[in-house]
Amino acid sequence: MSDRPQEAPRFLTVAEVADVMRVSRMTVYRMVHSGQMPAVRMGRSFRVPAKAVEDLIAEGLADWEQSRAIGEDG
């Protein structure tokens, strides 16, 4: 077991996720409802783990880099 205290996960609002990803809030809501993006419901609003957003962006970037490496247009 580690002596280091575990950091609490950081959550973002739907508006913050939309801003980071440069999409509309409706797009984020669609991703949450379809299961593409994990979220926690808190009262009447959703909170998205920051790590999930980072992972989704990294996955998209990796796909884009792979497609460029094999010569597809992106």
Q: Would you state the structure tokens that stand for residue 42, as one six-digit string?
A: 């808190």
Q: Does 4 map to a domain?
A: no
Cβ–Cβ under 8 Å, residues 39 and 32 = yes
Give tens-digit pLDDT for 11-22.
999 999 999 999
Spatial distance between the Cα atoms of 43 and 20, rounded to a whole number of angstroms: 23
Residue 74 inside a domain? The answer is no
* pLDDT on residue 25: 98
The CATH number of whichever domain residue 44 belongs to comes to 1.10.1660
Kindly state whether residue 6 falls inside one of the protein's structural domains. Answer: no
- More confident call, 12 vs 8: 12
Q: Residue 50 corresponds to which tokens in the numbers above?
A: 């920051």
How many folded domains does the chain comprise?
A: 1
pLDDT digits (tens, 9 = 90+) for 49-63: 999 999 999 998 888
Report if pTM > 0.85: no
Handedness of CA 26, 31, 37, 40 (dihedral sign): positive
- Please report whether residue 49 resides in a domain: yes
Domain annotation covers residue 19: yes
Give the structural domain span for 33: 11-69
